[in-house]
């Protein structure tokens, strides 16, 4: 019961975060809508990839041009989730440590990891990417003639949730280096660049890259497993790993966070 109460309390606090962020963004509505316009422009650039593939009309490692709609749409959805929920929070961790702002968060009666990594929500990133991504997925779903049933929808959404947890875990890990080194920007940029590996189906990469991107640094779980599942191209090992990996890497991140906090030197000490 205590665990349920804590989950309920944190959920309520998260809703307050969203409300406060929305109020803050509406104070500068021009910037808010301008940012949405920029995201829409980026969205059209991503759609060009689908257009080129369909124009050529060639299968890509067993995937038809229509199937690419599912992969690109899933990638766009996950990009919206990452940018709106995690990216800016993770990027600010180094500033919190350098400026001593982390001291203020430590005094709050709520999980430090929760408030540091989830307090900012950028709705301007979420709206165009998530809406646009869903539309692209629906188009691909219809063109492929895939069944609209509970199994496919639950599996697709389930692996998107799995991908969200993986995104939180693996993209947060390099940020924890800030507790040991002053500048870790280079490593973070390398990890951020790996995000774009999901822009294309993981089948285009060689065997060893797929193994590394699935089991070692599971970046391919972010946006590949959902479309592969509904296309019936996800083997039993991947199906199980797609469920186990988010739990495993989340707890790994949680452990490393606690170790990092113990290494933190307060700005006031």
- Parse the chain into domains and list their residue ranges: 2-262
User: Rounded to two decimals, what is the model's pTM?
Assistant: 0.92
Who's near 227: CB < 8 A, 6+ residues apart? 67, 70, 71, 74, 137, 140, 156, 201
Per-residue pLDDT of the chain (269 residues; tens, 9 = 90+): 677 888 888 889 999 999 888 888 888 788 888 888 888 888 888 888 787 777 777 777 778 888 889 999 999 999 999 999 999 999 888 888 888 788 888 888 888 999 999 999 988 888 899 999 999 999 999 999 999 999 999 999 999 999 999 999 999 988 888 888 766 666 677 777 888 888 888 988 888 999 999 999 999 999 999 999 999 999 999 999 999 999 999 999 999 999 988 887 765 55
Cα dihedral 250→129→75→218 (10° resolution): -20
CA 223 to chain centre: 9
């Amino acid at each position: 019961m205590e665990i349920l109460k804590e989950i309920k309390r944190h959920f309520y606090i998260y809703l307050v975060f969203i409300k406060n962020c929305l109020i803050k963004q509406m104070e500068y509505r021009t910037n808010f809508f301008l940012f949405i316009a920029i995201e829409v422009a980026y969205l059209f650039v991503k759609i060009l990839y689908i257009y080129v593939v369909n124009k050529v009309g060639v299968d890509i490692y067993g995937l038809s041009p229509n199937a690419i709609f599912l992969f690109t749409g899933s990638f766009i959805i996950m990009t919206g989730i990452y940018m709106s929920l995690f990216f800016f929070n993770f990027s600010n961790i180094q500033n919190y440590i350098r400026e001593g702002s982390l001291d203020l968060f430590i005094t709050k009666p709520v999980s430090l990891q929760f408030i540091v990594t989830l307090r900012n929500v950028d709705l301007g990133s979420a709206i165009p990417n998530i809406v646009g991504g869903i539309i692209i997925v629906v188009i691909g779903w219809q063109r492929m003639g895939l069944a609209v049933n509970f199994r496919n929808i639950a599996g697709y959404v389930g692996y998107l949730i799995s991908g969200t947890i993986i995104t939180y875990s693996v993209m947060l890990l390099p940020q924890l280096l800030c507790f040991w080194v002053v500048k870790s920007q280079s490593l973070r940029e390398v990890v951020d660049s790996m995000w774009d590996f999901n822009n294309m189906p993981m089948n285009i990469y060689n065997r060893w890259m797929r193994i590394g991107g699935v089991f070692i640094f599971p970046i391919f779980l972010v946006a590949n497993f959902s479309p592969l599942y509904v296309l019936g191209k996800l083997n039993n090992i991947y199906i199980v790993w797609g469920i186990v990996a988010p739990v495993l890497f989340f707890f790994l991140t949680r452990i490393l966070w606690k170790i990092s906090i113990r290494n933190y030197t307060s700005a006031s000490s």
